[in-house]
Structure formats: C-alpha cells, structure tokens
Amino acid sequence: MNDHILDLAGIGIGPFNLSLAAQLDSVVDARVRFFDRQPNFAWHPGMMLPGAELQTSCLKDLVTATNPTSPWSFLAYLVAHKRFYSFMNAEFDALPRQEFANYLAWVAGALDTLSFDAPVRELDFARGAFVLRLDDGDVTARNISLGIGLTPEVPAWASPLLGDTCFHASQTMTRLPALTARRVAVVGGGQSGAEVFLALLDQDGARQEVSWISRRPNFEPLDATPFTNELFTPGYVMDFHGLGEDTRAASLARQKLASDGASPSTLQAIYRRLYALRHLGGGPLNPALMPGREVIQMDRQNGEYRLIMRNSFDGGIEILHADAVVFATGYAFKVPDFLGPLRERIPFDRKGNLQLAADFSLTWDGPRQNRIFALNAGRHSHGIAEPQLSVMAWRSAVIVNALLGRSHFDLDLPEAVVTWASTGAPRDRAVGTLLASDA
C-alpha cells in the first residue's frame, strides 16, 4: 500500500466540503485533505448585507443532524466564544447570516485537513488513483469530493453588458458602496433580489428610482410550513432519488417556493420601508415593484440601460431605463475546467446534468471502488434540499459511510411523518447500512 495516497481529496472548501471535513474529523484513521484556490474561507462575502438572515435553523449546521457531540457544531461554536446565553437571550427569529458565516470560518480555521491558496489545475486518473495537479506538485487520492459550489448565472443577453454598473447580486457588497447610479433596476424575485432591493431602499445618496423586476406573478414568500419542510428530510431525499427523471423535474417545478422564496421578514421590512417613503416623508426615492415581468432584451444606449419586458398580467410590452442593473438571477452548476482530463469518462443526462447515485457519487467509467462524490450538483437527482444547508450533515455522513464501507454514522431513519412513495414499493430505510454493504 502507498501511504502517500489519500483516502479522499476534496476540491473546493465551501460549507458542503467543510461539513464533510468536519464529519471525517471523527474518523481517526482516514487520510483526507481538502483544497481551495481562495486564500482563506469566505461564505458568500458579496451578499453579506446588513440584516441578512439565514433561511434555515442553526441546528442544520455542519454536523449536528448525525453527530451532535461533534466539537464542530454551532452550539459548540457559541460555547467556545462565550456567547451561548447572549445568543439564547437575543431570541432571534432567524439567525443573522453573518453569525453563521463566522461559525463556518471558525471551523475552517480549526481543522487541520484544509489547504487554502491551493488551486487544483487538473484532475486525472492513473494507476488506480486520482491525480490532482497543483502548483507545487501532484497529490494522489483513491476518492474525490467535488465541493466547488455553483456559478453566478445571468441571462445570455446580459453577459456582454456586465461591468461596474451591470453585475450579478453575488458582487453586491463590492459594487454597491461605490454605485452612484440614480436609477437602479434589480432583476430577480427571490431572496437575493429582495435583499438587494431593500439595501437600495435603505441606502442614502442621490438615488431617485429603484425598480424590482420579477417573472413571478407576485413577490412571494418562502414556504417554510411544516409539511413543506418535510421535503428537506433524508427520507424524502431518498424517495425522490428513486423517481424517474421526468417525474423529478415536474416535482421540482412545483416546489419552487419551498426553497426559492423571500423570507417573510424581508418582505415585511420592504413593505414597511415603502410605507415610510410614501407616507412618512421618507425621502425622494421613487420605488417601483414590477412582478410578472420577463426581461426579454436589454441593451445600452447613451450611457443608460434599456430593458424590454413582457408583462404576463396583461400581455403588454414595457420599456424601463436604468443607469445600473443588478441581476439576482441565481446560480447554476458548471462543470469545472479541471475535470477536462476526465470529461469524456463522465456521462451526462439529456439536460447536461451529472448522474448521481444515492450516495452522491457520480457515474463514470473508472473502477467502482474509486468514487467521485459531487456536492451541490444533484438538485435534479436528490431534490430541492440538495443545494441547501438542510441536509448537508446527513449527506456528509452518507458519503463517510460509503467511503469507509461501514456504518460509522447511524443513518437508520425513523418512520416518516409523510408517506411519499407507494406503500407497496420495497424501501430500505437504513441507507447507511445499505451503502456500506455496497462499498
């Protein structure tokens, strides 16, 4: 055996690979290392707006769902920083996003299996192991975990216009302080769009017009009711994975507001700010809320942007002029360039998605014992919970069990509150044991 070969190498250190690293910290004999091109850990720094809140419970942290005694839980972070009682007394309805970011950075700073400022240039496979090519040499590993995150997405017609006054919401904290535009349009009706719009309403300066544009028929809240939250449980994820491709796609379309609505507290803050502007002498700012509009074309003329929109409410065509445009249009998975040497060995489905097994390993033509686990690349295969924080600790535990070939974590599931699959279909609720036996 080559003692220099890692059991697993992780590429990218965002929350999901950080969760996997934290869970693997409980496995004393695992040889693992995670690599990231950034100089240090940072979680969506471009969207860390004042007052931004987490849309999920702080108990859905890196480890607690399957390993509550881990030293890397959110509660352990509070205790380590002498703020447990202050946090409890604050009685947050929703956790400040900055607090959760601080927690993640604390874990990243403490684990000794993370390497920052270490970009992986290429990933190949040779002589029974994966080969990671870094600037200071090669690293070999039997298994890989891809945790590179998603790429900011803007409409194709907007890409040629991107710059200082036309940018994705992920750059808000960098661009917004220096933005002097009098008229700003925000495109996108989800949580990011709501947060950017609220920040613009609260920003002092020479702003005169702020428009919020969304294809959705209204500015709709996140559905966080109990039975909808059942979609963010391991049992549902397992049942969803067993569906056919077309059925999964139809389900995802129906469940949009379960993961992509705006927080009610953010919508309330926006409405109250609009009330103050209109009735309490809140200033000269003229806000416009424009739901049901699909931007079908945009160009730039004489230093201003022209957005042509189709109104789904009455079918009309509208034109909006703006000096700056912010696209809160989400993120998409992009096959990373470093996978180039393996690209022909990895099949994709007809929509260009990776094909993921129940244990989050992707299909490829190499040896079965050498797995490539893909995190945040399986919304189409595992459901709306897969890109969210809700199941990351459980997913990491599934991967650890599959990696070790044994049930290091107890992943037997209790009887489900909601019965999703046909009752006559055979189902094994002990996913950890099942995957370990197949390893």
User: Would you report the helix, strand and coil content of the chain in percent, each value rounded to 5?
Assistant: 35, 20, 45
For residues 307 and 201, membership in a common domain is answered with yes
Q: What is the pLDDT along the chain (439 residues), one digit of tens a residue?
A: 345 899 999 999 999 999 999 999 999 999 999 999 999 999 999 999 988 999 999 999 999 999 999 999 999 999 999 999 999 999 999 999 999 999 999 999 999 999 999 999 999 999 999 999 999 999 999 999 999 989 999 999 999 999 999 999 999 999 998 999 999 999 999 999 999 999 999 886 778 899 999 999 999 999 999 999 999 999 999 999 999 999 999 999 999 999 999 999 999 999 999 999 999 986 778 899 999 999 999 999 999 999 999 999 999 999 999 999 999 999 998 999 999 999 999 999 888 899 999 999 999 999 999 999 999 999 999 999 999 999 999 999 999 999 999 999 999 988 889 999 987 655 555 554 444 444 4
For residues 17 and 131, membership in a common domain is answered with yes
For residues 202 and 272, membership in a common domain is answered with yes
For residues 52 and 188, membership in a common domain is answered with no
**Domain-located, residue 120:** yes
CA angle 58, 59, 60 (to 5 degrees): 90
For residues 175 and 218, membership in a common domain is answered with yes
**Domain-located, residue 227:** no
Last residue of a domain, one of 306, 327, 348: 327
Cα(323)–Cα(300) distance, integer angstroms? 9
Let me know: does 388 contact 378? Beta carbons within 8 Å. no
Residue whose C-alpha is closest to residue 187's, from 324, 284, 283: 324
Last residue of a domain, one of 327, 346, 366: 327
**The residue type at 52:** A
Let me know: does 207 contact 182? Beta carbons within 8 Å. yes
For residues 322 and 337, membership in a common domain is answered with no
For residues 303 and 423, membership in a common domain is answered with no
**Domain-located, residue 246:** no
Last residue of a domain, one of 280, 309, 327: 327
Domain hosting 190: range is 165-222+260-327
Count how many domains the chain has.
Answer: 2
Give the Cβ contact number of residue 162 at 10 Å. 15
For residues 293 and 360, membership in a common domain is answered with no
Residue whose C-alpha is closest to residue 126's, from 366, 420, 325, 354: 366
Determine whether 307 is exposed, middle or buried from the number of CB atoms within 10 Å of its CB (0-12, 13-18, 19+).
buried
For residues 125 and 204, membership in a common domain is answered with no
For residues 39 and 143, membership in a common domain is answered with yes
Residue whose C-alpha is closest to residue 325's, from 341, 312, 313, 308: 308
CATH number, domain at 26? Answer: 3.50.50.60
**Domain-located, residue 159:** no
For residues 359 and 383, membership in a common domain is answered with yes
For residues 265 and 402, membership in a common domain is answered with no
